[in-house]
Amino acid sequence: MSQYYFALTNPEAENLLKEEVKLFYPDFRMSYSRPGFLTFKGGDRIPFRPVFARVSGRSLGKLNRDELTFPKAWVWALNEKISIPAELQKISDNSLFKIGETVTLIMVLGADEFWVGQYELLPSHFQTPGEVSSIEPREDIPSRAYFKIAEAFEAFDIEVEHEERVLELGSAPGGASLFLLEQDLKVLGVDPAEMDKKVKGAFNFKHLKLPFENLNSSIVGDIDWIVSDINLPPTVLMKELRRILSFTSPRGVILTLKFNQSKHLSMLKTLPKEFKDFGFTHGEIKFLPSHRQEVCLFAIKD
C-alpha cells in the first residue's frame, strides 16, 4: 500500500536530500514540492528520517482549512511573508509534545494552502514547529560557526564540566571558539589563519598557528573534546581525525561535516558505527537549522 512522506529542509540542502532519499529509500519517488518542503511517495509505513531533513515523517496530505480540527498541533510557515491564521497560531502556542509522542505539524505553504504531517518527537529534535532554531541571533560573532556549535549543544543536550579542554581543528576566525569559551571551557585552537580579537585575547584560549596535520601527542596533551567546523571533504577530515584519535582519548567529538559532493553520502550510515570502534558509546548525525550542505556528527563516551 502506498504511503506519502514529507521532509522540511533548507534550500541549500535540497539536492543532497533528494540524493540521500535515492540512496537509502530507493523505492521512494518525488511528489509535490516547494522550496524547503518536499513530499515523496513510498511503500509501507516506515520510519522516514533522512539526515538532510530538519524534520520528516508521514504526510497526511493537503487539507482544507476547515479540516484542521486537531486538538493539538504545531504550526509552521514556509517563510516570513506567510501569515499563520490566528486560530491556528493559538493552537500551536498552546500545544506541548513530549519526547516519544507523535507530533502533528500543520505546514502553511501559502494563502489557504495547508499540508499536515506527523512524526515521532526524538530527544535530538529542537522541539519547535518546523525545527526552527531557538538560538538567539547575534551580530557580534566572528562567524556562523557560533550558531552551529550552539545548536549542536542544544540538540544533543551536551553537558560539559568546568574548564574541560577542547581541541578545535580549523578554529579561525573563532565563531565556535567564542561559544566554547562562553561555556567556561579551555580551547586549544589549531589554524594557520588569524583568530578574531574577541577570541585570541581570551584567558582560556590558546592558538596554535599551524596546520592540524602537524599535530602530535607532545603538542596536544590531554584533551576532553575534539571540535571542528573546517571546510574540508568528510573523507579528508575523517582521515586526519583517525590519526589524532590514535594518540588522544577525548570523551566527546563534535564535527561539522561538509557534503559539497553527493558521492560522500554513504558515510551518513557508516560514520556513527565507526566511532564505536574508537570506544564511543553513542554516535549520531543531525542536520541543524543553520546548516547548508553540512551535518553535525556528535559522539560521546559514557
In order along its 302 residues, the chain shows pLDDT tens digits of 679 999 999 999 999 999 999 999 999 999 999 999 999 999 777 789 999 999 999 999 999 999 999 999 999 999 999 999 999 999 999 999 999 999 999 999 998 999 999 999 999 999 899 998 888 888 899 999 999 999 999 999 999 999 999 999 999 999 999 999 999 999 999 999 999 999 998 999 999 999 999 999 999 999 999 999 999 999 999 999 999 999 999 999 999 999 988 889 999 999 988 998 889 999 999 999 999 999 999 999 98
Output the CA–CA distances (angstroms, integers) from residue 93 to 62, 117, 153, 181, in the order listed: 22, 18, 24, 34
Report the distance separating Cα 113 and Cα 175, nearest Å.
39
Report the distance separating Cα 227 and Cα 53, nearest Å.
23
CA nearest to 70, candidates 33, 34, 95: 95
Q: Which residues contact 165 (CB under 8 A, 6 or more apart)?
A: 185, 186, 188, 221, 222, 223, 224, 225
Could you give the angle at which helices 145-155 and 175-182 cross, rounded to 10 degrees? 50
What's the pTM value of the predicted model, to 2 decimals? 0.93
Strand, coil or helix: what is 297?
strand
Burial environment of residue 207 by CB neighbours within 10 A (0 to 12, 13 to 18, 19 or more) = buried
For position 1, what pLDDT does the model report? 64
Instruction: Confirm if 288 and 148 have CB atoms less than 8 A apart.
Output: yes
* Structural domains of the chain, with CATH: 3-131 (3.30.2130.30), 145-300 (3.40.50.150)
Q: Which residues pair with 104 in a beta bridge?
A: 118
Tell whether omega for the bond before 173 is within 30 degrees of 0, i.e. cis. Answer: yes
* Tally of CB atoms within 10 A around 138: 11
DSSP tag of 44: S
Instruction: Confirm if 101 and 121 have CB atoms less than 8 A apart.
Output: yes
Report the distance separating Cα 238 and Cα 278, nearest Å.
12
DSSP tag of 52: T
Q: Across the chain, which distance is largest between two alpha carbons, in Å?
A: 68
CA nearest to 205, candidates 152, 191, 213: 191
